[in-house]
Structure 1
Amino acid sequence: MKKILGIILVVAFVVTQLAVFTACNDITEEQFTMPEMNYETYNNGDFCDYTGTGEQSNDFVPEQWPNYGIGDPYVFRFNGMYYLYCSSRDNWNGVRAWKSTDLVRWQQCTAKGFTEEQTGYVSIDESLVGAFAPEVYYWNGFFYMYSSPSGLGHYVYKADSPEGPFVRVTDKLDKRIDGSMFIDDDEKMYFLTAGEAGIIMSQAANMQDLYSGDTAFTRVNLSNTVIGSWTEGPMIIKRNGIYYITYTGTDVESQAYRISYSTETDGKKFGDDDAFTYGVDLPIVLTVDEQNNFKGLGHSSTVMGPDMDSYYIVYHSLNTLTTNGPYRSLNIDRLIFNGTQMSVDESKTNSIKAAQPNFYATEVSADKFDINGNTALSKQSVGKTFTAEFNLKGDNVKCVVSYVDADNYAYVIADYAAKTIKLVNVAGGKESVVATGTLVNDFDKNVIHTIRVAYADGKADVYFDNMCKISDSEVTLNGGKVGYVGDGEYYCTTFSDVAKGKSDKVEPKQSGASIGASNYLPSDYFEGVQSYDLTNSELSKVTVDKQYVDDIGYNGSYQLTFGKNGDFARYLVYFRQSGHYGLKLTYDQKYAGKKIGFKVNGGQLQTVTLPQVTCSETGCIISAFIGGFDVTAGANFVALYGVGDDVGFISFSCERIANNGYEFSNSLADVVEKGAIYSTMYRLYDGGHATRGGSIMLAYIGDDTLSDFEVSVKIKFVSHNAYSAGLIVRGRNFANARYDGATSIQGYYIGLDSRNVNISRFNHSKSQTKVEADAIGKTKDKLTKEFTTLKVVAKGNTISVYVDGEFKFEIHDAHAFLTGHVGLYSDGAEVVYKDFYIKQI
């Protein structure tokens, strides 16, 4: 009996399960020296002040909440500075905050007028007792904080500085938690909160009146924004015309607290039933690493990086549970985009530090600007690709970019009376208006506003207070100085050499993230290393037909299709550890059976045949290992090649896989002292490991790099109930907190009950149980009197099941879990395990 799985479970017929590997000599082996890489790393663990001993100290984020740390972190960028806010310790009053220029080193904020004892606080409003998830947004001269004290409903607080003091300006507005504001490019405002059936959104009339906007759009559950029975921690960003919403579930006390995302691309109203589409590879943040105490990852915010092109996801991890509430810590990691596809490789160690801007000035001064009357121009120049940001007060001030001389430059000018913002090009002394955007609201010229220009490939975007007002306007800019012309007050001015997603190409991408096809290095980025040759290739958007509901999330992502032998694209990839890795490729099923090549650094090209899986009615995208390689920790090059076939791919990632011929056996008559991780305690009984009836039981054996293997164990029932017991294969991220259950793990569960052997694909709230089943072939009486041998073979995207040497069925998963632990797993049956055996194949 056979069964095929897609993203969740897709029925298909596997023609060729494993990639075929050959060396290819048609393409000349490259000879180059690895160039110097300019990047730094940091450890998320350095933000943690939890020691387990009661002592607290942290130089990176000082004076965190005592025995509570930083939970529900929110980072806000304003005037070139980052501000970090978090939930207050239960039953304590006030909100604390920190600030940073680089997202790594933070210092305390203190509101003006506060005493020494109030150092570190931005509000001590009497209503802010146990403040839940405070978030701060800027609008027209004021900063608005949203929080739900003690989780009992939202108030709005207002200040004239991001450091406060924030003062309450509304009564309680609802009975919800985790309020988040989104301001769209058309200046419409939307307020998001947590909900039982997904994220709830309302259109706000203004920054204080959160529920009196469009009355037909009040408290709408956003489609496809659900994690289990409770979803919280929402936030929306808009990047290159795509809306990305992140959200968290299900329980803050769970080790498997996790983050997912959905997207919206076609301009529908948010309240439409199908406005949002689930993303891919969900959840995008989920790690349960008990050995390193890195778990319970969730409640995120997203913030633009210092280069004004990258984005970072900010989230907390759970250290432990205390009488004060969950004790949590700050984490920050880089997001990678490939159209609608968004990914992150979260870790406690070795994250890539945010790239800093090429130019950064907190004021206009003679050390960084040439000043002549009412004109100030930077001493440094931007190149042909740049993002430049201006923070200023004043009306009709020219924000200058690409200044070559008085007859050749461009500028952006906001006219608050006319409610316009214009991009103007000056060429040969002649001015021409390139594009004009509209300012809908009445903006105050006497407060700080932010103007940002992103330019790449002959097109410019212009942002006003983080709202895109001009998009993809064609103009030729050849680099030059930035600055101001006019009478205004000038604050932070900064620029970088990346724009419109280029940072995703040039910065090292974590190997475990889904690295998009569009993220290849730009031309001649590293001296002596050719970035790509795509003469006969095409980068295009993926279009998934509506019938393929399991893969619809790939709509709008990018796919690179090679058109001839020798075309290639090279990617900069960071590996946290040295070792052996598998290259996992995601591709349209129409390319299955065709050949593609890959190489790491300047090594030999490997040519592989992509695993061939016929599409079913519900899926058309495949993720599979196509080859393996050894690599040294640090930044490396991974290149994909056309080798003659018309073949394409959407993304790839690299996972550590065992390559040592692993083999292990144990009678299980005693505790497995080496190579096992007991998540629950087994008792020794009848010559083996015995489970407790009615309890979920797990013991991992072997590490989490196992991929292809066969495993067997003997199982005897002590008694019969409605539950089952068996093996978990390629398992990881197990949770057993108060609201977790038998499906709170990732992997394939092969279980025996009193009648059948079943296989389920577990992925927490996205689990599909009992995908396939077959009769064991024994009576209940025999199951309690003799041991039954359960054998599972995992090879590529196929899982095969045997009972007492007889083949029962196999499943094929187009988006398989490809690595993970093997373990003893029971959802409540009372059984004895003995004679465990595993061998890598």
Structure 2
Amino acid sequence: MSRKSGAGMLLLLAGLLAAGCTPQTEDAPKLPARTYTNPISLPDEWGEYGLGDPFVFSYNGYYYLYVSTRDTDAGVKVWRSADLADWKYEGLCTEDPLTTGAYAPEVRYWNGKFYMYTSPAGQGHYVLESGSPTGPFRVATGNFGRTIDGSTFVDDDGQWYFYYAGPNGIQAAPMSDPLTVAPEEDQTGAYMGGWTEGPTVFKRNGKYYMTYTGNHVFSAGYRVDAAVSDSPLQGFGGFEDNPVLLRSDGATVGLGHNSVVTGPDLDTQYMIYHNLEGHGVVGPLRHMNMDRIVWNGDGFRVWGPTSDAQPAPELPAFADRFERNDLGKDWKTAGDGSWSVNAKDGLSVDAAGKEGRSMLLAKTETPSAYTAEFHVRLDGGAGKAGAVFSYENDKNYGIAMLDAQSGQLTAEVREGGKVAVTGSAKLPGDLDISQLQTLRLEVSGKTVRIYVEGMHLLDLALKDAAGAGKIGYAAESAKARFGYVAFSGSVGGSGVRHAYAPLPGFVNAADDEAGEALKLGIAQAGEEGAVVKNFGACKKLSYLVSVPKSGTYNFHFRVAPGSDGVKFRLKDGDTEVIPAIEVPAGKTGEWVTVSAVGMKLEAGYQRLTLEVDKGSMDFAKMETAAYAPVTAVKDDFEDKNDFGWTRYEGGWSVKQGQLRASSLQPAKTVIGDYGWTDYSVEADLTVPEDGGQTGLLVRVANPANGMDQNQNRDDFLQGYFVYVDAKGIHLVKHDYDTVPLADAAFATPKPGEMVHLKVLAEGSRLTVYAGDGGKPVLEYEDKSGRAFLQGKAGLKSVGTASRFDKVRIEPAGGKP
């Protein structure tokens, strides 16, 4: 069945044909050639300790993985991969006794050296240094403190920063060089209401992003939040969608301490994190997980956590590591320079004393929009060397060069043999271009963005689109060496359009496979993010999805109907997944969530197509979750047990036909299925003492024990809490925090006496009844895009001893 969540109304299931729209045939979606499955175990991982706090970074076409060391052992293990899927163990990259219990080692490359930051046994930080990512690393500093989980970030001006866990959240300090942290300590604002650790900082489109983890590694509710700021040191504000990674019940739990890395397609970012398996011999047993980051405007979400087979990270369209002894058939030269390749040193050119530019051009052409990566070093301190892009012929191409004499990044685009556009940027003063440096180019339309070693240094604004062409290397009056080179047809996050979204999960409306959303128009709509505008009759948007198991699912569409309303349907090829849903017009620009409950999906890789039959709408996202029919519950606790309930915090007992919670600490217990949607829950419960709360939970997901491990939190769940206190009836929303939503005056009996409370959840509307009255005492519609639309029911008590009796749960409207 389908419903408009905003009003809890059943919607019309219309006919099976979209009248007036011409049918179109589509090719079957391309199946992924390789897959991986979380959690990931690797050969030679720490026995009974696994792969905790996984850190992955890339250097010259390879990825390197480092993990925490057991408290009983010295050394740091490292693995290498070309594709983020297949890993080879490279041994211990250090065996220094100081690294006994090396927590959360992270490595950053700078000017020919690799710097490792770690806090052995959590007792302050050291920096180790090496000439290779696989070591040997040697201790380069004394202990400079700063608790645990140190992480570095280098801004576009070359300024370094150090981030670490502090008593009130993540703290930060500038660095004068890779070995020296300044004495000052800034509170970044990134805080999870308790112990917060595992920071990672990166920059995108001028904004600073941080991911971080809390609150205890042994908690099933260990999770990842994200924040954004205009400053690298302060003002980090948490995402509205926090937590961005959480699962407290299921195949993997206790998810956190992540790193973020760009995949081999040069465009997609992945969150690398661990899950908790349980207690090992000498600490937590954890394993590595990897899921895709999906951007929407200035925010992102994660396609995860996943625990079923997922497509392996996409590879570049073209790549070369030059690990051979000849130039190969994929390249052609231009100019007078002498190009050579050997397996040990890779690609090099001698163009010293030569006239003009010497170029090496790949025979494979890029598409019109692409991302390319290059690795360049100048030998001898003279001349220029860099990258060629969008090469059509010797009169039409672009070039970006590192200039030894001026200490600049210079770029130009030639059209018809003449220089059409030029640009330059000063390289950070301590950047040594006689060491290997990464050049990254993002080419899209009339804009070319150029990065050096991750620093965004230069934008070229072109008169015409740069377009497709060849890429390659170039040198002028220089001897130079070069490393890994690659390009892909994805840029600015566009690779998500051709990726399979894992279901249950979500897809953003703007990320359709064929790019039709761009033609319809995409706009920012506040909390909704990037939305598709004016999605009208006979238009289609298709999305690639991966369904691990055949079954029934709930679909939730976030839409703003047009002035004439809208009727749309969802199809898998010629098979209708959801018959037409008709949504009447509402207030102009008002967003509503429309749900289709209990729809069948077959397992496999699929293309789901959303079609509009008539009317129009703005469209933000589609979310899916597993469905379960609501089964009636009647529990008077006369059997002296609470079988079927799952206790979390608190001291619970069954006495005299009542379920009781002690006043010693907050308590919650839940029952049902996470696939439940619309239902009512009611119970008799005691009025709390002053300052206490006693009430009902609805739509509960991801519950965890917030009191465990001294976390001292009563809000470890996602869902709604309706409670009674001395002032009346209150509704709050828990999402591992507490947000008050509504209050209602109600004359409660004396503390300790019973009162009847009932909550009806239909769509995004919650209706609350109290006492013997048949009229609602409180009504609330969660109009946000983060409304909880399904989940278990439960009981909760805070700051008081509580008793519960006569619990009843029924499907709304008498239908499951």
Shorter-chain TM-score: which interval?
0.7 to 0.9
Tell me the CA shift for residue 288 of structure 1. Answer: 0.3
- Cα distance between partner residues in 2 of 1:507 and 1:122: 35
User: Counterpart of 2:373?
Assistant: 389
User: Conserved in 2, the CA contact under 8 Å of 1:416 and 1:443?
Assistant: no
- Cα distance between partner residues in 1 of 2:460 and 2:644: 56
User: Counterpart of 2:278?
Assistant: 320
Q: Which amino acid aligns with 2:484?
A: C
Q: 1:534 to 1:87 in 2, by over 3 A?
A: closer
Query: Which of 138, 143, 161 is equivalent to 2:114?
Result: 143
Q: Does 1:703 align with 2:673?
A: yes
Q: Does 1:279 align with 2:239?
A: yes
Query: Which of 490, 503, 513 is equivalent to 2:482?
Result: 490
Q: Does 1:823 align with 2:811?
A: no
Greater alpha carbon shift after TM alignment, 433-442 vs 498-507: 433-442
Q: Which amino acid aligns with 2:361?
A: L
Tell me the CA shift for residue 89 of structure 1. Answer: 1.6
User: Counterpart of 1:415?
Assistant: 403
| 3-state SS of 1:97 partner | strand
The Cα offsets for residues 470-505 of structure 1, whole Å up to 9 and x where unpaired, read as: 235335444343332444323222222212221022
Q: Which amino acid aligns with 2:521?
A: E
Q: Which amino acid aligns with 1:569?
A: L
Greater alpha carbon shift after TM alignment, 687-696 vs 557-566: 687-696
The Cα offsets for residues 237-295 of structure 1, whole Å up to 9 and x where unpaired, read as: 2234343221122222221111111223xxx54456xx444322111111101x53x21
Q: Which amino acid aligns with 2:227?
A: S
The Cα offsets for residues 75-102 of structure 1, whole Å up to 9 and x where unpaired, read as: 1111111111122222532222211122
User: Conserved in 2, the CA contact under 8 Å of 1:147 and 1:179?
Assistant: yes
Tell me the CA shift for residue 743 of structure 1. Answer: 1.7
User: Counterpart of 1:161?
Assistant: 132
Higher relative strand content: 2
- Cα distance between partner residues in 2 of 1:834 and 1:352: 48
- Cα distance between partner residues in 2 of 1:332 and 1:33: 31
Q: Does 1:65 align with 2:39?
A: no
User: Counterpart of 1:370?
Assistant: 331
Q: Is there any run of 5+ residues in structure 2 with no aligned partner, and where?
A: 340-358
Q: Does 1:636 align with 2:636?
A: no
Q: Does 1:502 align with 2:469?
A: no
User: Counterpart of 1:339?
Assistant: 297
Q: 1:610 to 1:352 in 2, by over 3 A?
A: farther
- Cα distance between partner residues in 2 of 1:833 and 1:456: 63
Residues 398-409 of structure 1 mapped to structure 2, 5 A cutoff = 398-409=386-397
Q: Does 1:39 align with 2:32?
A: yes
Question: Identity across aligned pairs (percent)?
Answer: 27
Q: 1:126 to 1:102 in 2, by over 3 A?
A: same
Q: 1:485 to 1:512 in 2, by over 3 A?
A: same
User: Counterpart of 2:69?
Assistant: 88
Q: 1:396 to 1:18 in 2, by over 3 A?
A: farther
Q: Provide the TM-score with structure 2 as the length reference.
A: 0.84
Query: Which of 199, 203, 206 is equivalent to 2:177?
Result: 206
| 3-state SS of 2:47 partner | coil
- Cα distance between partner residues in 2 of 1:489 and 1:363: 11
Tell me the CA shift for residue 330 of structure 1. Answer: 1.0
- Cα distance between partner residues in 2 of 1:559 and 1:669: 53
Tell me the CA shift for residue 655 of structure 1. Answer: 2.4
Greater alpha carbon shift after TM alignment, 567-576 vs 739-748: 567-576
The Cα offsets for residues 53-87 of structure 1, whole Å up to 9 and x where unpaired, read as: xxxxxxxx122222222222111111111111122
Q: Which amino acid aligns with 1:28?
A: C
User: Counterpart of 1:300?
Assistant: 258
User: Conserved in 2, the CA contact under 8 Å of 1:797 and 1:812?
Assistant: yes
User: Counterpart of 2:510?
Assistant: 518
Query: Which of 239, 244, 249 is equivalent to 2:209?
Result: 244
The Cα offsets for residues 280-313 of structure 1, whole Å up to 9 and x where unpaired, read as: 2111111101x53x21111111100110000001
User: Counterpart of 1:76?
Assistant: 57
The Cα offsets for residues 395-422 of structure 1, whole Å up to 9 and x where unpaired, read as: 5234223444444433322113212223
Greater alpha carbon shift after TM alignment, 339-348 vs 297-306: 339-348
Residues 671-686 of structure 1 mapped to structure 2, 5 A cutoff = 677-679=646-648, 683-686=653-656
| 3-state SS of 1:23 partner | coil
The Cα offsets for residues 543-590 of structure 1, whole Å up to 9 and x where unpaired, read as: x5xxxxxx5xx6xx42321175444433333334433333334467x9
- Cα distance between partner residues in 2 of 1:228 and 1:781: 31
Tell me the CA shift for residue 771 of structure 1. Answer: 4.3
User: Conserved in 2, the CA contact under 8 Å of 1:288 and 1:733?
Assistant: yes
Q: 1:754 to 1:686 in 2, by over 3 A?
A: farther
- Cα distance between partner residues in 2 of 1:210 and 1:593: 61
Residues 762-801 of structure 1 mapped to structure 2, 5 A cutoff = 762-764=734-736, 766-768=737-739, 771-775=742-746, 777-780=748-751, 782-783=753-754, 789-801=756-768
The Cα offsets for residues 83-122 of structure 1, whole Å up to 9 and x where unpaired, read as: 111222225322222111222222222xxxxxxxxxx211
Tell me the CA shift for residue 460 of structure 1. Answer: 2.0
Greater alpha carbon shift after TM alignment, 807-816 vs 152-161: 807-816
- Cα distance between partner residues in 1 of 2:517 and 2:548: 28
Q: Which amino acid aligns with 2:293?
A: L
- Cα distance between partner residues in 2 of 1:813 and 1:662: 25
Higher RCO by CA contacts (8 Å cutoff, separation 6 or greater): 1
Query: Which of 139, 149, 154 is equivalent to 1:183?
Result: 154
Work out the number of aligned pairs and report it: 760
User: Counterpart of 2:166?
Assistant: 195
Q: Does 1:100 align with 2:81?
A: yes
Query: Which of 14, 18, 26 is equivalent to 1:23?
Result: 14
User: Counterpart of 1:606?
Assistant: 580
Tell me the CA shift for residue 721 of structure 1. Answer: 8.5
Tell me the CA shift for residue 837 of structure 1. Answer: 3.2
User: Counterpart of 2:429?
Assistant: 441
Q: Is there any run of 5+ residues in structure 1 with no aligned partner, and where?
A: 1-13, 49-60, 110-119, 213-217, 524-531, 545-550, 615-619
- Cα distance between partner residues in 2 of 1:366 and 1:471: 32
Tell me the CA shift for residue 684 of structure 1. Answer: 4.2
Query: Which of 749, 762, 779 is equivalent to 1:810?
Result: 779
- Cα distance between partner residues in 2 of 1:824 and 1:348: 30
Query: Which of 81, 106, 123 is equivalent to 1:152?
Result: 123
Tell me the CA shift for residue 819 of structure 1. Answer: 1.2
- Cα distance between partner residues in 2 of 1:27 and 1:576: 35
- Cα distance between partner residues in 2 of 1:611 and 1:710: 28
| 3-state SS of 2:496 partner | helix
Residues 115-154 of structure 1 mapped to structure 2, 5 A cutoff = 120-154=91-125
Query: Which of 219, 233, 254 is equivalent to 2:185?
Result: 219
- Cα distance between partner residues in 2 of 1:701 and 1:182: 45
User: Counterpart of 1:7?
Assistant: none
Q: Which amino acid aligns with 2:627?
A: I
User: Counterpart of 1:759?
Assistant: 731
| 3-state SS of 1:759 partner | strand
User: Counterpart of 2:704?
Assistant: 735
User: Conserved in 2, the CA contact under 8 Å of 1:16 and 1:613?
Assistant: no
* RMSD of aligned alpha carbons: 3.4
Q: 1:587 to 1:173 in 2, by over 3 A?
A: farther
- Cα distance between partner residues in 2 of 1:740 and 1:27: 60
| 3-state SS of 1:205 partner | strand
- Cα distance between partner residues in 1 of 2:501 and 2:646: 31
